[in-house]
Chain A
């Protein structure tokens, strides 16, 4: 382990000297954690995530992480992570696919307990028949769990988002979990160029006093919820407490917008946003969209692209305004249900503009040509 110095987060996010590494997404997670001043990481393996938490274990062995262990299963891991966060340490874990679903109860619990946990979700198919291949369907399940959801397109994004996620999660007026999602294999196992800050730098430590709720106070929310399960008492105060607390968690997510803007520039990223045809999506579906856009523009077609970086909070206003100018909106997705197209339709005025596809799922690769086909159909 090399000696590290705590620096201003901005110095890590935008260092004057960067190192360029040719690494996988899993290794990008390691490099982010190395600089994130993480106290504790808890692991349970599942493809395509296993390498990431294995590498977190290597960081523990090297001395960069203070405590690390493997839990009994994903439910145990997410519960242990909650305990660590309640106790006031900066904690990280990662899972994916069936692991996400096995632990599902804990994600809304984290949000309700206002725990600033950062968890990376390396997405994979969850439905039978079994697949270990990339598929973003689990994200649809998490949309209303109360956690902040960022979607990385590349290993670079994954590195950048994890390092920033801690700062966003730990703001007093936010203080809810951040899930950093990436598409399994397409990001985790793909080797690409990633620029990182010098390893001598690390983030300031988590300040447990930044928490907006008292630690383990049995008389106040959120822990009073655990002492007095409201469903059993059924009086007016218990309902009101529960309802207002849920709204407060939603409001905390809303308040994260300004920090996401501060640390990630914007909730979206655009290329040629005034075009007639817009490709709008997130993750690696947008990577395939970039190739399709390049080909289409070379043919003289008016195509632009919008990458959604923050799924929760959703860039409602941004998408609504962009959709006004566009004639067609193509939404490529790596899942069966087209949840992203539904999200987009829920915020725009003319939903008939939306072409909910192409959709590829169960681990197949989306040929950029299939998006190009949609573009051609729109341009006729």
Chain B
């Protein structure tokens, strides 16, 4: 169970938690690593708790299901923490030593002293990012929240390459490999209209990802910045 990075993403239905995991896992796979991705949700409805899990390893991965002992926790919505819309309580349950937590919120959330003590005892590093705001500002839609979250992960833990990420995005949204070969690909006229739209979508998403990777901030808990 070593040499493996486990990422647990908790969010609300409709935020793109499943898609974000898909894109990260697919990119890791393209980087030549082993990866598995799976979601967990109840009845599918917007704003209901939804989680997804990404495992990335140098070796073949057998373990299935929820990630109970993550190295990275990504919280896509403050309600996961404040309203307990989460399959794990508290939201950081199971986090491994030296783990990372990234939280989407416009302002840093207030934590109880006992939580802060717990973070310190685990040597966890917490980050916050206004992912939904950045999604709207740069991507033009709150549906880009997940892209911003992917960016924040890259900003603090670059475990996938930007090239593979771009390729995964194209595959996920293009429904085909034709765009993966990039702008130099010779495309027939029939696909041209779609290509332009798709290229724009990829570019916008990449912009959200890149800018978000610079906007992610560390929680200081009143200590040095």
Pick from B36, B42, B69: contact of A192, CB below 8 A.
B36
Query: In the complex, what's the smallest C-beta–C-beta distance from B75 to chain A, in angstroms?
Result: 20
When chains A and B are docked, how far (Å) is the Cα of A75 from the Cα of B16? 35
Is the beta-carbon distance between B25 and A22 smaller than 8 angstroms?
yes
**A132 at the B interface (CB under 8 A):** yes
Is A189 engaged at the interface, CB distance under 8 Å to the other chain? yes
Q: Inter-chain contact count A-B, CB under 8 Å?
A: 61
Among candidates A22, A189, A291, A294, residue contacting B38 with C-beta atoms closer than 8 Å: A189
Chain A residues, Cβ within 8 Å of B36: 190-192
Interface contact B62-A132, CB-CB below 8 Å? no
The answer to whether B185 has its CB under 8 Å from any CB of chain A is: no
Contact of A295 with B64 in the complex, beta carbons under 8 Å? no
Are the C-beta atoms of B68 and A193 separated by less than 8 Å? no
Which of chain A's residues has its CB closest to B40's CB?
A185
Alpha-carbon distance between A108 and B36 when the two chains are bound, in angstroms: 36
Which residue of the partner chain, among A132, A133, A193, A365, contacts B64 with CB atoms under 8 Å? Answer: A365
Closest Cβ of chain B to A25, distance in Å, is 10
Instruction: Tell me if B40 and A191 are in contact (CB < 8 A).
Output: no
**Chain A residue total in the interface (Cβ 8 A):** 25
- Which A residues, 333 to 364, have Cβ-Cβ distances below 8 Å to chain B? 364
Interface string of A170-194 (1 = CB under 8 A from B): 0000000000000101110111110
- The answer to whether B29 and A22 touch across the interface, beta carbons within 8 angstroms, is yes
Query: Is the CB of B39 closer than 8 A to any CB of chain A?
Result: yes
Known: A288-B64, A365-B64, A368-B1. A193 touches B34 (CB 8 A): yes
* With A191-B38, A192-B36, A193-B34: A284-B64 Cβ-Cβ less than 8 Å: yes
- B7 to nearest A CB, angstroms? 13
A 91-127 to B, binary, CB cutoff 8 A, 1 in contact else 0: 0000000000000000000000000000000000000
Q: Which residues of the partner chain A approach B1 to less than 8 Å between Cβ atoms? A: 291, 294-295, 368
Please indicate the chain B residues that have their CB under 8 angstroms from the CB of A190 in the complex: 36-38, 64
Bound together, the chains give a CA A368 to CA B26 distance in angstroms of: 25
| Residue A290 CB within 8 A of the other chain | yes
- Residue numbers of A with Cβ under 8 A of B are 22, 132-134, 183, 185-187, 189-193, 284, 287-288, 290-291, 294-295, 364-368
Q: Apart from A133-B40, A183-B64, A364-B66, what 6 extra A-B contacts exist at CB < 8 Å?
A: A22-B26, A185-B38, A290-B62, A291-B62, A368-B1, A368-B63
Would you give 30 A-B contacts (Cβ < 8 Å), ordered by A?
Answer: A22-B25, A22-B26, A22-B29, A132-B43, A133-B40, A183-B64, A185-B40, A185-B65, A186-B64, A189-B38, A189-B39, A190-B36, A191-B22, A191-B36, A192-B36, A192-B37, A192-B61, A193-B29, A284-B65, A287-B63, A287-B64, A290-B62, A291-B63, A294-B1, A294-B62, A295-B1, A365-B66, A367-B68, A368-B1, A368-B63
Q: B: which residues have CB within 8 A of A?
A: 1, 22, 25-26, 29, 34-40, 42-43, 61-66, 68-69
